[in-house]
Amino acid sequence: MEIQFECLKNLGIDISESKRRIKRFRKYLSNEKLRENYNGDYKSYLKFKHWKKFRENYFKNHTRTCYCCFEDATELHHNNYNHLFRETYKDVVPLCRECHEEVHTYIINENEFNLENGHELYRQYLNNRIDT
């Protein structure tokens, strides 16, 4: 394949976009293979190289501020689990450990709210608690 690219390059054809597309496609196929082997255990998902790399890149490119309390964020909260292995930065919210636990244990589990608005509800709760 590299020889084909070299020939195109010699003809003056820009191959950088083609290489980027191929790289994205290979990554997509790799993630699809991971999805096929995923057994549904979310804790094991957090140990996948894909998730660790995604998390690392997120914190390289975004502030480490907790969405709820504005302290140092150490974790990412999924708004939903629909895009596992294909997350975008819009699928997650940075939270500190304490807020992440509160969102899952109190907001979502005890009150049966969904993942998508759990962090919003907890932020509102904290703001109301501070204001009063």
- What does the pLDDT look like over 4-15, one tens digit per residue? 556 556 666 666
63-109 pLDDT per residue, tens: 999 999 999 999 999 988 888 888 899 999 999 999 998 888 876 66
Please check whether residues 3 and 32 belong to one and the same domain: yes
Residues 46 and 101 in one domain: yes
Question: Structural domain of residue 18, as residue ranges?
Answer: 1-37
Who's near 15: CB < 8 A, 6+ residues apart? Answer: 5, 8, 9
pTM of the model: 0.64
Looking at the fold, whether 85 and 117 belong to one and the same domain comes out as: yes
Question: How far is the first Cα of the chain from the last one, in angstroms, to the nearest whole number?
Answer: 65
- Are residues 118 and 99 located together in one domain of the fold? yes
Higher pLDDT, 9 or 127: 127
Is the same domain home to 61 and 104? yes
Inter-residue contact 121 to 113 (CB < 8 Å): yes
Are 25 and 44 members of one domain? no
- Whether 57 and 23 map to the same domain: the answer is no
| Mean per-residue pLDDT, 116-125 | 78
Q: How high does pLDDT run on average in the chain?
A: 77
Of the candidates 74, 42, 41, 35, the residue with the CA atom closest to the CA atom of residue 58: 74
Q: What total number of domains does the chain contain?
A: 2
Q: How far apart are CA 76 and CA 56, in angstroms?
A: 10
